[in-house]
Amino acid sequence: MHESSPRPAALITGAARRVGAVIARTLHAAGYDLALHCHASWAELDQLIGELEASRRDSTIALQADLADVDSLPGLVEAALARFGRLDALVNNAAQFHATPLADATAAQWDTFLAVNARAPWFLARAAAATLRDSHGAIVNIVDVYAERPLPNHGLYVISKAALAMVTKVLAVELGPQVRVNGIAPGNVLWSTNPVKAETPQLLAERTTLQRQGSPQDIATAALFLLRDATYCSGVILPVDGGRLLHI
Catalytic residue list contains 157: yes
Report residue 154: phi and psi, to 5°. Answer: -125, 40
Q: Which residues pair with 222 in a beta bridge?
A: none
> Under a CB-based contact definition with an 8 Å cutoff, are residues 123 and 67 in contact?
no
Q: Which position among 32, 146, 157, 232 bears the catalytic label?
A: 157
Q: What is the CA radius of gyration of the chain?
A: 17
Whole-angstrom distance, CA of residue 25 vs CA of residue 17: 11
Q: Residue 10: which H helix or E strand, with range? A: strand 9-12
Whole-angstrom distance, CA of residue 46 vs CA of residue 112: 26
* Nearby residues of 121 by Cβ (< 8 Å), 6 or more positions away: 92, 141, 164, 167
Please count the CA atoms within 13 angstroms of the CA of 98 that sit on its side-chain side.
Answer: 8
Q: Which residues of 202-218 are buried (b: 16+ CB within 10 A; e: fewer)?
A: eebeebbeeeebbebeb
Active site residues: 157
